[in-house]
Amino acid sequence: MLIKCICKNCAGHLEFEEENAGQEIECPHCGFDTKLFLPGGDSEDMPRVGLLTRLRSRRQLLLDLGAILLVVAIGFALYHWVLPPFKDWLPYTESKVLPVVALGVACLICLVLVALLVVPFVLAFHLRKMTGVLRQIEVNLRPMIPGLAMPEAEPELESVAGESPETGEIETDNSSQSTPTSTSA
């Protein structure tokens, strides 16, 4: 017998056989794992599809629309507030396209300059963090990333005969060793 339920992530309708109740499957609508449940089950198992859940499922669409709106707003502002004074700086021309193309090129040059100024600082910041983690790996033989709980310390390994556990250097006992002497004949 076919049973119907909805996805807990996107509220998409799902049909399944009654014996498959309780299994986790990948939702064909949103791609997230969801648990198949029988209608009228525990209230804990019932999905809560609210505004936030629906917004999360449409997050990419909202981000795309926001990016398009931002580009349109910047284009409108450039066309109405930056282009008229920019036309005064250009040599006189009857063309309506040349000032727009020149403004586009000027915006691209500004974007490249900002990228050339900002990217090195971002890279330096990330490289500093990576070298710190690598230094800790070298010292401790495991990373110590801030914010993560570290496992309990492992018991120290027995030192190799004559090796100091603190420094890792081999200790020599000069009293037990005899130095060879040479005899000249």
pLDDT by position in tens, the chain (length 185): 788 888 888 888 888 888 888 888 888 888 888 888 887 765 444 455 566 677 677 888 888 999 999 999 988 988 888 888 888 887 777 888 888 888 889 889 999 999 999 999 989 988 988 888 888 777 776 555 666 555 555 555 554 555 555 555 555 555 444 455 555 54
How far apart are the C-alpha atoms of 55 and 61, rounded to whole Å? 9
Give the list of residues 6+ apart from residue 56 with CB closer than 8 angstroms, or none: 9
The first and second tokens of residue 161, run together, are 């005969």
Compute the C-alpha angle 120/126/131, nearest 5°.
Answer: 120
Domain range annotation of the chain = 2-57, 59-140
The kind and range of the H/E element at 16 are strand 13-17
**CA-based torsion, 25, 31, 32, 34: positive or negative:** negative
